[in-house]
Chains A and B, each alone.
Chain A
């Protein structure tokens, strides 16, 4: 039993993947391309309308997140972003695997910062689209 557990332990460490490996996507310029092309965002329209209700002079970061399959596990995402004074509002859409984050229009949104905040909760942010209201 000891041998089995030790073998599993070391084998797992060996093939344990680095979550950063999922984050090769650079979105500098990519976002702009998406917006110009009018690429359809996979966001629940009703949910989005509800989210932006009452928000003015804001921009919304729509972040695609992998591994966000459980409400209990996604709690940390909400808590982490709520600590950021630049974040006006946040919503977690489990069904679409998206996190919606509202910032002031003047705020520069850094995808790397968002990726890090998602990662410390154990999930991977893979891309982001910004919608200016």
Chain B
């Protein structure tokens, strides 16, 4: 049902994407989501520590996706995202690259700005690029993202903004909770959706769930190893 056949010999990144794409049918992704019970913003923690890997699933009104990335350095990550495009009723993959443009560490806060990009398995003329950033303390969190997707059918822009607060300050290893207000819009629907998101994490697992009556569930699950 869900077969990670990376091919006996991967000749190119593009070929690798095609192999994974071929072997994960749309229902396979759906099943993974069901098995994980809930799915989870790809933009949260897009780069791991040096040598770290992250696997995440994401689902909203636009797409259901499964994304794996590896970080050769804390400054960038490379990965493969296999997705079901709910808006254009299509299935394809992206080879993704994320780069840490700027980070400011202080005693009580961290601020990040990332560049993100991806090339589609459907051709080099289908791709996306964008920036996203965040600033957080142990109590407060703000973030934003802008992403332009180029497709043969129609190009579109997605954007989101979010602000969050931790209702309690957990210690290292505790179960952590964030209450976030998220607002997003894409140029296809051209309407803002603002809704609450809950973020939980413990150890190497992170989960985000949001709900809006029009766009339904936003869900994001992440495991880092």
Contact = CB atoms under 8 A, between A and B. Distances in A.
Contact of B45 (A16, A72, A94, A120): A72
Q: Name the interface size band of chain B.
A: 35 or more
Nearest to B176: A71
Interface stretch (A6-14, A55-63, A106-114): A6-14
B105 A5 contact: no
Most chain B beta-carbon neighbours within 10 Å: one of A15, A22, A69: A69
A47 to B, nearest CB: 9
Given A5-B130, A5-B148, A69 B45 contact: no
B74 to A, nearest CB: 4
B110 interface: yes
Contact of A16 (B49, B102, B110, B201): B102
Interface in A80-107: 80, 91-95, 97
A75 interface: yes
Interface range on chain A: under 10, 10 to 19, 20 to 34, or 35 or more?
35 or more
B101 interface: yes
A74 B73 CA distance: 15
Contacts of B108: 69, 97
Contact of B131 (A5, A19, A71): A5
B29 to A, nearest CB: 24
Interface of B: 45, 47-52, 73-74, 100-110, 113, 115, 129-131, 136-138, 146, 148, 157, 169-174, 176, 201-204, 206, 224
8 contacts: A12-B102, A13-B101, A66-B106, A70-B110, A71-B174, A72-B176, A94-B172, A122-B74
Complex A-B, nearest 3 residue pairs according to Cβ-Cβ distance, in ascending order: A67-B105, A76-B49, A12-B101
